[in-house]
Amino acid sequence: MLSKSRIFIESSREAAVAKAIEYFGCDEREIIFEVLSEGTDVADWQVYAFHGTQREYTDLDAGFGVYYEPDGVFLELYPERGLGESLNRTAMAQHLVRKSIKRYEEGVVQNLVINRVGRERIAPSQDEFFLGEDILIDIPQFEMEAHAKLLAPEPGGTMITYNDVMEKVAKAGITHGLDEQVLRNLINEKKYGEDYLIASATMPIDGENGKLVFHFSTDQKTAKPKELEGGKVDYRSLDLYEPVEEGQLLVERVLATEGTPGVSVKGKPIKQKPGKDTPLPKYKNVTINEGKTEMRAKTAGMVEYIYGSVNVSNVYKIDGDVDMSVGKIDFDGSIHIEGNVIAGHVIKASGGVIVGGVVEASEIYAGGNVEVKRGMQGMDKGRIEAGGSISLLYIERGTAVAGGSITVDASIHSVIEAGDSLYAKGKRGSIIGGRAIAAGEIVANSIGSVSQVITEIEVGVMPQKRARISAIEKELEKLAGEILKLDQLDTYLERAKEKLDTETFNKLYRSGVENRKTYTEDIGVLTDEIDALRDELEHANEGKVHVFDTVHPGTRVVISSDMYKVNDEMKYTTFKFLDGQITYMPCEKSKSG
């Protein structure tokens, strides 16, 4: 089959045209000619001839031809035209290798490629080797796949067999993931130059990370009352704690898996990523099995998940009031008081506290949640502190500080500090006078009063958290001093090793090692805590204040470094920190949300 392109080198243009007509066996009008170089006294004319239509010639791809002639082997290059593709140098190089041309001059070929067009003698005269069908195998760098192309034979060339293909596959090193049916399709379909995916690696399966499965709710207890139809609120139905039985499964630790390695198409292992184990959380009043995969309640009571620790507490129940007949209470567990807490009492619990009646000018300190079903009449002395959430019907002239959220129907001339959010919701849903602080958001029906009483509202980081950062910094400084003393002890022991008796030396040495371990662990725990607190400080400007009804004059709103004084009555408003200052807008929350 004749190529549509040839370069003719003759003594004149007319002679080159005549040669082209003779070569292609057609009329001159069917050939497009282009003079590559005109003849001189010492050089012949070079004329490029294309046998085809003007439309084909306009966007013609670059090409090449190899010709075996009596005076040598010649390589011709034909440049692209218009939008045609440039020369595929790789395909040309592969063709020259397959033709098994003896003693061909690579430098001549390179120069011809640089010039992009022309005809040059690249090897001495020799018999032509006619190409048979062949297969070209390509394996990318990471050996994830192997591809193959069937190369077309020349007229008279032999056809490739399945056994020939398998030999080439083996020579390429493919030992895994071979699809023999695809190879058979490649041979039978005769789609020369088309890419076939003949082998694929088995990809590794990464191990799964270990995880903790909690068999109780770890959601922060909202202490929100159940809202009834008609806008009424049931303050006796609150989300405060979860009861457990002795031996009840609380946490299950699922171990990480190693995963499965993969295999490349050349049979090499592909490493997988093993999963990472997750340790059990801190705990109190809980049993751990030998394999450290299960955490069960040691006793019946209530379970709480506070600051990453699973705590099971007993419940101390008081059927009546806490009065002089009961005295102070300090209990390692939870406390349930059916009646009131009379003025002057102090109640401490490592767990939660529930009060069925009223809290007068007394103090309640709880590690968990606190629920006061009726409210607090603080008389400027009452105080409630909770590691979790606080819920009470009202608070008047008292203080409530919670690590979690606080829910109240009415706060009157009181100090409220919520480590999460503050919800003034219910029949009144009001904050009148005093100070209300929340690390998250504050949601209320109304703030302040028509008498313009000073009411301070702040969202951001709790004051005690700033104090905690300061305390941790001092503790870390103290621990660093203890580590320094241990370093001095090590230096002393090294120098006095020969003078001290063995028993004294060993005693001092063991004491130093044990103390260093304890101090190092304490530093790690405190460092994690202070990092978390500092992160909270950085995001202290994200809190918002949402008011569904009225914000009265006399209210002061503080967010981050800015304060906004309300001088005129405002309705249905959200306050937030934006572009370095407090701004207000229509309320972003719905009352039912």
Predicted confidence (pLDDT) per residue in 368-378, tens digit: 999 999 999 99
pLDDT band at 314 (very low <50, low <70, confident <90, very high): confident
Element (H, E) at 548: strand 544-551
pLDDT band at 540 (very low <50, low <70, confident <90, very high): low
User: Rounded distance, CA 369 to CA 304, Å?
Assistant: 9
pLDDT of residue 220: 62
448 Cβ neighbours under 8 A, 6+ residues apart: 431, 432, 433, 455, 550, 551, 552, 553, 554, 555, 566
Q: What is the mean pLDDT of residues 22-29?
A: 92
pLDDT of residue 85: 93
pLDDT of residue 211: 93
Low-confidence winner among 97-101, 253-257, 404-408, 409-413 (lowest mean pLDDT):
97-101
| Domain spans in the chain, listed from the N-terminal domain onward | 5-123, 134-200, 201-428, 465-540
User: Rounded distance, CA 396 to CA 409, Å?
Assistant: 11
Nearest to 308 by CA among 525, 60, 96: 525
pLDDT of residue 222: 53
Calculate the average pLDDT of the chain.
Answer: 89
Residue 575 pLDDT more than 90? yes
pLDDT of residue 240: 46
Could you give phi then psi for residue 592, rounded to 5 degrees?
A: -85, -10
Q: What is the pLDDT of residues 494-507, one digit of tens each?
A: 888 778 888 888 88
| Residues in a beta bridge with 137 | 148
pLDDT of residue 235: 46
The rounded percent of the chain whose pLDDT value lies above 90 is 63
User: Rounded distance, CA 318 to CA 336, Å?
Assistant: 6
327 Cβ neighbours under 8 A, 6+ residues apart: 345
* Structure-block tokens of residue 315: 């419940």
Q: What is the mean pLDDT of residues 558-582?
A: 90
Residue 45 pLDDT more than 80? yes
| Residues in a beta bridge with 136 | 149
pLDDT of residue 118: 92
User: Rounded distance, CA 532 to CA 513, Å?
Assistant: 29
Nearest to 17 by CA among 38, 47, 60: 47
Could you give phi then psi for residue 514, rounded to 5 degrees?
A: -65, -40
Each as own residue / partner, the long-range contacts of residues 548-551 (CB below 8 Å, 24 or more positions apart, any chain) are 548/429, 548/443, 548/444, 548/445, 548/446, 548/572, 548/587, 548/589, 548/591, 549/445, 549/446, 550/446, 550/447, 550/448, 551/446, 551/447, 551/448
Residue 274 pLDDT more than 80? yes
pLDDT of residue 284: 86
* Structure-block tokens of residue 80: 């692209």
Residue 223 pLDDT more than 50? no
pLDDT of residue 181: 95
The model's pTM is 0.46
Strand order in the sheet with 145-151: 134-138, 145-151, 195-200
* Structure-block tokens of residue 76: 């011709």
544 Cβ neighbours under 8 A, 6+ residues apart: 441, 442, 459, 559, 574, 575, 576, 588
236 Cβ neighbours under 8 A, 6+ residues apart: 373
Residue 250 pLDDT more than 60? yes
Are the C-beta atoms of 412 and 432 separated by less than 8 Å? Answer: yes
